[in-house]
Amino acid sequence: MDWRENVRMVTPYVAGEQPKISDIIKLNTNESPYPPSPKVGAGMASLDAGLLRLYPDPNCTVLVDALADYYGLTPEQVFVGVGSDDVLALAYLTFFNSKKPLLFPDVSYSFYDVWAELYRIPYQTVPLDDDFGINQEDYLRDNGGIIFPNPNAPTGVFENLDLVEYIVKNNSDSIVIIDEAYIDFGGVSALKLIDKYSNLLVVQTFSKSRAMAGIRIGYAMGNPELIKYLSDAKFSFNSYTMNLTSLTLGGLAVLDDAYFKEITAKIINTREWFGKELTRLGFSYPKSCANFIFATHPEIKAAELFLKLKESGIYVRYFNQPRIDNYLRITIGTDEEMRKVVEFLNKYNV
């Protein structure tokens, strides 16, 4: 018997390229083009390095309390983790233990099937319609759980709360997770539904709208029973998942609501301008409520354009997958960066 027979082998998630060169325009991983709140910078400068000899607060009180206060929740309704990927992976482990399949869209965050394979969770992908929208009736079938991003990644399409509530309401025997990584760029959060439905978990992140991808903070919000189950699983796995620096700086970021709204507004304004420019150049794309645009051109292959952009020092994201292999996902950068993209496309004669 070969030892490899006892190895859990999976095909891992492939993140966007992180080039180690300077002087590029990096629009491939949906990072914020702006720095985090000045309160975060000040907090970094004043951190007492001597405290790093101590274990961090396993209950993450400073960050949990800040988030609970910001959203008008109790601390018992908030769970934090090392990025939303950590929170979602733990939610898979905690809530998706049925022999029935987990359901999620066929065009969706490509980590969803990776976690299902890792944890040996049966799953089925549910096709989006031709406009990359969800058909709510498709989720009225036996399942062991449901998860979908809203706004969708990688399309940017936002589903209204009536559809979200319909799916949650009609799947009361399953946990429904709404992954809201991009909610602050144009959507309406399902958070208002968590007191109404005990089976709903809403997950968000600091990586996009709060400009803190490097610090790794994600969080879930739901009824206290769901949060307790998540916490129990966390403490059975690793009591100290959140480090002191993340807890401190994350709490400071939540306090600076004015800056948060300022940079999200900037990104939204730039997105709308850039979208009009893409339309002028012959591209089409679904309406985006995220910090990116998912664009296609009728005459130019996305794979070809992806490589030409890269050769010019402009990195965007290309997915060589069914249904979306002629689209590029372009993160919204600064006004200057997006003007340079438009200049390149003009010269490319699209």
**Residues near 101 by beta carbon (within 8 Å), at least 6 away in sequence:** 122, 123, 124, 142, 143, 144
CA distance 302 to 272: 21
Q: What is the DSSP letter of 77?
A: G
Q: Is the pTM of this model over 0.75?
A: yes
Select from 138, 181, 147, 270 the least CA-distant residue to 189: 181
> pLDDT class for 20, splitting at 50, 70, 90?
confident
Does residue 117 register a pLDDT over 70?
yes
How far is it between the farthest Cα atoms of the chain? 62
Q: What pLDDT, on the 0 to 100 scale, is given for residue 1? A: 74
pLDDT for position 350: 53
